């Protein structure tokens, strides 16, 4: 019976990794739509979000079933509770990708990101996508070192976010208020994707060690 239980626990992590892969695709496609003004790709991201929501529901149902039928304790309980938190984080990352896609769709046939700030936003998108990819590997491998390293990418994201504000507020900004609002929102969306990625990685550390990264660094 316990062997079946642990197989079910492992299947949850397999499902989490699969959802993370879906999120990675959503971030990539949303960015593509944003930087090219491709309405069809934007619509694909928006439509695909339902699959992520449904996958989240399946993980939650499995986790709640384990909690009610198996009454896990100690380390096993930690795994189930962490999985519930992680799937919520992943689903929110998918939602943020939809927000990016909706801005892209709203400005078609134009491109939402002005040329002068496009390199900064493109780099933010690249960092976000890389972090999602690395989190997927962390979920699969449960490598603590790799999980802790995800937080270092978040430092670059924070720097890029500050840079985007500097560019928006500079005297050279000539693209108006509407574009500035779009860029400010986009920066926030990518920053939040990165934040959620760090949170998922931290929860993997907690699953393996019973401690959050802050305690391990102390």
Q: Is 112 helix (H, G, I), strand (E, B) or coil?
A: coil
Correct CATH for 2-217 of 3.30.9.10, 1.20.58.220, 1.10.3720.10, 3.30.1330.50 = 1.20.58.220
Cα separation, 46 vs 44, in Å, equals: 5
Cα separation, 41 vs 25, in Å, equals: 11
pLDDT at 215: 43
Residue 94 per-residue DSSP state? H
Tokens of 26: 């959503």
pLDDT greater than 80 at residue 70: no
pLDDT at 212: 79
pLDDT at 154: 87
pLDDT at 3: 67
Domain boundaries, the chain: 2-217
Tokens of 174: 């000539």
pLDDT greater than 80 at residue 6: no
Please provide the average confidence, as pLDDT, over all residues in the chain.
Answer: 91
The helix or strand, by DSSP H or E, that contains position 87, with its residue range, turns out to be: helix 74-107
pLDDT at 4: 66
Handedness of CA 126, 26, 38, 103 (dihedral sign): negative
pLDDT greater than 90 at residue 88: yes
pLDDT at 217: 46
pLDDT greater than 80 at residue 216: no
């Amino acid at each position: 019976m316990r062997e079946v239980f642990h197989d079910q626990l492992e299947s949850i992590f397999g499902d989490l990794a699969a959802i993370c892969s879906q999120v990675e695709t959503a971030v990539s496609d949303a960015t593509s739509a944003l930087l090219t003004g491709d309405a069809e790709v934007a619509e694909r991201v928006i439509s695909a979000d339902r699959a992520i929501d449904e996958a989240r529901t399946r993980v939650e149902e499995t986790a709640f079933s384990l909690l009610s039928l198996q009454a896990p304790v100690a380390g096993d309980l930690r795994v189930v509770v962490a999985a519930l938190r992680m799937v919520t984080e992943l689903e929110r990352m998918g939602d943020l990708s939809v927000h990016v896609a909706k801005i892209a769709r709203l400005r078609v046939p134009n491109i939402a990101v002005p040329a002068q700030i496009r390199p900064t936003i493109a780099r933010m998108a690249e960092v976000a996508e890389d972090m999602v990819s690395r989190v997927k590997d962390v979920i699969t491998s449960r490598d603590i070192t790799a999980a802790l390293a995800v937080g270092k990418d978040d430092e670059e994201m924070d720097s890029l976010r500050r840079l985007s504000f500097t560019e928006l507020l500079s005297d050279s900004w000539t693209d108006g208020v509407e574009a500035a609002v779009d860029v400010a929102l986009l920066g926030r969306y990518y920053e939040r994707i990165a934040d959620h990625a760090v949170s998922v990685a931290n929860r993997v550390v907690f699953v393996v060690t019973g401690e959050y990264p802050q305690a391990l660094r102390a």
